[in-house]
């Protein structure tokens, strides 16, 4: 398609009065209020944030059980499987601790977003990006051949 053809197609579409789409706009209802069916309930946001933060307690219990199960490992010298188990435990412990931290931060962000309803989409996205970059997954350990 040549440039002239493209320009002609655009001109034809403009002449037909093609509808434009605007995603950040709620169309006016016939009554003229402009609110439509868009609703945001602060209580729901707050409850969702509290529940997400509440997951930290269950994760903490899981961490305790994980530590209890690891406590009987004993001396590591000379036993390759014990050393591998210790390395795996450390990896999973960090991962689960990060899950706990992520629940707390995400829950707090949800509570703030619901309470204030003043954060722009860009601000919320920036906060979510901070959480994501802070809690990167741990590197794969189990099953990886080291130097072989």
List pLDDT tens digits, range 96-148.
899 999 999 999 988 888 777 667 778 888 888 898 888 876 566 555 555 55
Higher pLDDT: 145 or 67? It is 67
pLDDT on residue 101: 92
C-beta separation of 100 from 54 below 8 A = no
Answer whether residue 6 shows pLDDT above 70. Answer: yes
Taking the C-alpha atoms of residue 130 and residue 103, their distance in angstroms, rounded to an integer, is 14
Say which residues have a Cβ less than 8 Å from residue 45's Cβ, sequence separation at least 6: 110, 111, 113, 114, 115
Q: Is residue 145 part of a domain?
A: no
Would the pLDDT of 49 be above 70?
yes
Whether 55 is in a domain gets the answer: yes
Q: For residue 141, is it within any domain?
A: no
Flag whether 80 is in a domain.
Answer: yes
Q: What's the whole-model pTM score?
A: 0.58
Distance between CA atoms of residues 120 and 35, nearest Å: 18
| Residue 119 domain-assigned (yes or no) | yes
Mean pLDDT over 60-70 rounds to 87
**5: pLDDT strictly greater than 70:** yes
Asked, for residue 64, whether it belongs to a domain, the answer is: yes
Domain that holds residue 123: 42-134
In a domain, 34, yes or no: no
Query: What's the pLDDT at 139?
Result: 63
Q: Count up the domains in the chain and report the number.
A: 1
Which residues have a Cβ under 8 Å from the Cβ of 86 and sit 6 or more positions away? 70, 73, 76
* Identity of the highest mean pLDDT range in 33-47, 70-84, 93-107: 93-107
- Tell whether 88 is covered by a domain: yes
């Amino acid at each position: 398609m040549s440039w002239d053809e493209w320009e002609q197609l655009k001109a034809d579409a403009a002449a037909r009065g093609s509808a434009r789409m605007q995603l950040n706009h709620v169309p006016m209802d016939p009554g003229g209020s402009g609110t439509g069916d868009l609703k945001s309930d602060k209580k729901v946001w707050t409850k969702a944030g509290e529940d997400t933060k509440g997951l930290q307690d269950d994760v903490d219990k899981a961490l305790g059980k994980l530590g209890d199960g690891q406590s009987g490992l004993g001396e590591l010298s000379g036993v390759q499987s014990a050393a591998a188990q210790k390395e795996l435990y450390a990896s999973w412990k960090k991962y689960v601790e990060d899950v706990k931290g992520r629940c707390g931060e995400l829950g707090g962000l949800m509570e703030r977003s619901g309470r204030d309803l003043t954060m722009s989409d860009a601000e919320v996205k920036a906060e979510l990006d901070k959480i994501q970059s802070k809690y990167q997954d741990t590197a794969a350990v189990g099953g990886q051949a080291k130097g072989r």
